[in-house]
């Protein structure tokens, strides 16, 4: 009768740990590819500053509009 035997304890340990390393590598590669080429810190900061600037401008415009229409006139 041909009975399949499990690998030795040591081989099982090494195999399961190597599997973990492979899982990490695949996860890093897959997610990095999904994210795509990243922006560097300077680009990100510039983009953030631009967004904040626009937000402030919008806020100012809204306040100006409220000031124009909210008053008793004149």
Partner 1 sequence: MEDFVDGVTKGNVSQVKTVLASVVLALAMYQVALMAVAYGKLRVPFLKPKAATFTHRAVGDAAVAVGVFVAFLCYSYFGIGDGIEHARDEETGRATIHVVSGSLFVVAVLAKVVVVRWWRSLGRFLPALGLTMFSLFSVAWLTSAGNYLWGG
The residues that touch partner 1, with contacts defined as CB under 8 A, are 4, 6-7, 9, 12-13, 15-17, 19-20, 23-24, 26-28, 30-32, 34-35, 38-42, 44-45
* Min CB(22)–partner 1 separation in Å: 10
- Alpha-carbon distance of 67 to 25, in angstroms, equals 58
- Residue 47 contacts residue 39 (beta carbons within 8 Å): yes
User: By C-beta, is 36 or 72 nearer to partner 1?
Assistant: 36
User: By C-beta, is 39 or 65 nearer to partner 1?
Assistant: 39
- Alpha-carbon distance of 43 to 34, in angstroms, equals 20
């Amino acid at each position: 009768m041909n009975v399949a035997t499990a690998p030795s304890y040591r081989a099982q340990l090494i195999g399961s740990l190597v599997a973990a390393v492979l899982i990490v590598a695949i996860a890093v590669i897959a997610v990095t590819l999904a994210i795509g080429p990243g922006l560097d810190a300077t680009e990100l900061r510039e983009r953030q500053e631009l967004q904040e600037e626009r937000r402030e401008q919008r806020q100012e415009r809204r306040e100006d509009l409220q000031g124009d229409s909210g008053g008793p006139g004149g």
